[in-house]
Every structure is written in structure tokens, then in C-alpha cells.
Amino acid sequence: MALFLIVSSFLTILILLLLSVNGFLLHLESVNLARHVYCALPVVIFSMFSHTMTIFYFIGTGKQVKEIVRERSLPPDLLEETRRLKREVFPAATCAIVAVMATFIIGGGVHVGMIPWYLHMILALLAVTASAWAFVREARNIYRNVLLAERVETLAGFRKP
């Protein structure tokens, strides 16, 4: 699961970047508008899915660690470690989700001629940047979370050292 989340988060950056380039080329009149619009919805859904699943991964593993720590009377600093990992991931993942959603919504305004295209392009670059920031935090902390889970399982006697 951890590897899937890291890969999907990385793919999110790539497909958002490709969609942004596609949108920029649209204004040079070398790309079809319909293709850009039809590609945007699955890209947005995939991006939101990727970051949301990462958030749920940390909620689930944090709950599991909390239960094991309490049942086995393990050191409480293990709980603080899961909280710290969540505090680092949740704001970045949420920011990426909001940036992608805002870009998509503003894109609708551009499509009907109510909003200038350059505002959509600025938001698209922001969405790519926010997704890259989220990827760095997610990948680093998923790795740390896996190590923490292994440590908790070892201390609880579920795994041999």
C-alpha cells in the first residue's frame, strides 16, 4: 500500500504537469479544447484520490499504532511520532487537493468566458507546485511511518527483531 501511495502521488505531479502544458498549448491554438476539458476531470479525480488515500492511510495506521501502544503498554512517544507524521502530511495533501479543485473550477469559468485564461494557468502551476510539495512530504513520511509500524510491531512482539 505504501508503495502504491508514493507512486500515485508522483504520477499526480506528472499528469498535472502534462495537463498544464496541454492547456498552455491550447492558447497557442495547437491543441483541441475538448481534449483538454475531457482530460481534466479524470486527472482531478485521480489527484484527489491519491492525496485522500494518503490521508486515510495515515489515519488508519495511526489508529493501529495507538491501539497496539495502549494494549501492550508501549512507550507513549510512539503515539507522538504518528501525530507528528500526520501533522507534516495533512496540510500539504489538503493544500494540493484544494489547489487542484480550485484550478478545475476556475477552468470551468475560463471555458464559458467568465474568467481570464491566465488565472487558470497560474492556478495550474500552483496545483503542480502544491502536489510536488505534498509528494515530498507524503513519500518521506510514508517511509518513516513504515519504519515506525515495524518498530511498534517488534516492541509488541508481533515481529522478530
Q: Quote the pLDDT of residue 30.
A: 65
* Radius of gyration of the chain, Cα coordinates, nearest whole angstrom: 19
pLDDT in tens, 69-86: 999 999 999 999 999 999
Question: 44 pLDDT exceeds 70?
Answer: yes
**How far is Cα 112 from Cα 134, in angstroms, rounded to an integer?**
31
Residue 124, exposed/middle/buried by CB under 10 A (0-12, 13-18, 19+)? buried
Against a cut of 0.85, is the pTM above it? yes
Question: pLDDT exceeding 90 applies to what percent of the chain?
Answer: 82
Q: Answer yes or no: are the C-beta atoms of 65 and 154 closer than 8 Å.
A: no
- H or E element that contains 20: helix 2-26
pLDDT in tens, 123-150: 999 999 999 999 999 999 999 999 999 9
**How far is Cα 3 from Cα 11, in angstroms, rounded to an integer?**
12
Choose among 103, 112, 105: nearest CA to 19. Answer: 103
Q: Answer yes or no: are the C-beta atoms of 81 and 147 closer than 8 Å.
A: no
